[in-house]
Amino acid sequence: MKYNLLKSLCACLVILLFAQCNEEPAALQASTPRKDTAAAKPREKAPEPLTITYRPLVMKDSGKVRLKNDFTPEMRNIIYALNRVDGGHANRIDTLIIPDTLIADRMFYSPFPQEVPFLKDVKKMVYFSYPIQAFAAYEAGKLVLWGPSSMGKKATPTPTGLFFTNWKGKEVRSSVKEEWILKWNFNISNRGGVGWHLYAMPGYPASHSCLRLLEEDARFLYDWAEQWVLKSGQLVANGTPTIVFGNYPWGQQRPWKALMSNAKANEITLEMLQKETESFLPKIMEAQEKRAALSASGAVSETVADTTATAQ
């Protein structure tokens, strides 16, 4: 990798490397909240793709010591994201994948394209990929954030298709178990009780249909996505379009482990996104135009947040 790329980053750190679980509350997570969770500005220039290889770090005693001592907190957060795990569960994974080049900017490791031209007229868009357990948020076709997710387990899968964000709540009690407190919750299926929120990330699909996120990502999307608009109890405008797509390879190797043999194994191409989006695009644009018209008339200020609890 060229050094001029690294010089363009004010917070980059590079290191060359030598050579399931009980569900836990979100308090086990170790992540650094974003300084700006209210909005994200698309980069003037997308990060150049990295040419990297991935190696295993066996999490025996020496591996745990090495993870703690050889990597900065920023580097560990990148490693956690790549392994779809939070800091509280990392020591429970038998083997972590480690990139040979570590830069303290997660965007350089995005499996999603940095720009999606066919979304240039879409104000905001969110994707969740079931196969690679990851999400991406776009503004006018430019990637503003990607991150890991823990989606529905095999017995309680996350529904796929097009959804729109509805209501949100900073702390919501689960409809499955009252003691489950879901922080930074944003509902995408009011009747289905499905939403994204902060919760434990064990490194595999473990939820009861919802889309679990790390704290920094849940807080960002909570502020960034738009709620629905209700008037006299009736829906008059949708929130942010969200597409959940694909199938998880149950019973097989976790897809991100394949990065050790193929650095592009988890790549989501433009063609893949277009295939998942094209049939929904007319509905997405119609909803966006309707919301814009309401916004121009001042009706968007009448947003009402439903208090219905979501599933977990």
Q: What's residue 44's pLDDT? A: 54
Residue scoring higher pLDDT (47 or 288):
288
pLDDT at 106 over 50: yes
The architecture in CATH of the region 117-255+268-302 reads: Beta Barrel (2.40)
Calculate mean pLDDT across residues 219-248: 96
Confidence of residue 224 (pLDDT cuts 50, 70, 90): very high
Helix (H), strand (E) at residue 142: strand 142-148
Residue 160 · residue 244 · CB < 8 Å: yes
DSSP assignment of 9-74 equals -TT----PPP-------GGG---PPPS--S-----SSPPPPP---EEEEE-SHHHHHHHHHHS-HH
For 125-160, the pLDDT digits (tens) are 999 999 999 999 999 999 999 999 999 999 999 999
Q: What's residue 78's pLDDT? A: 96
What is the sign, positive or negative, of the torsion defined by CA atoms of 154, 157, 158, 159? positive
What distance lies between CA 283 and its chain's CA centroid?
Answer: 23
Nearest residue to 212 via CA among 276, 154, 128, 277: 128
Q: Is 290 helix (H, G, I), strand (E, B) or coil?
A: helix
Q: What's residue 180's pLDDT? A: 66
Confidence of residue 181 (pLDDT cuts 50, 70, 90): confident
Structural domain boundaries in the chain = 117-255+268-302
Cα–Cα distance for residue pair 152/247, rounded to 1 Å: 11
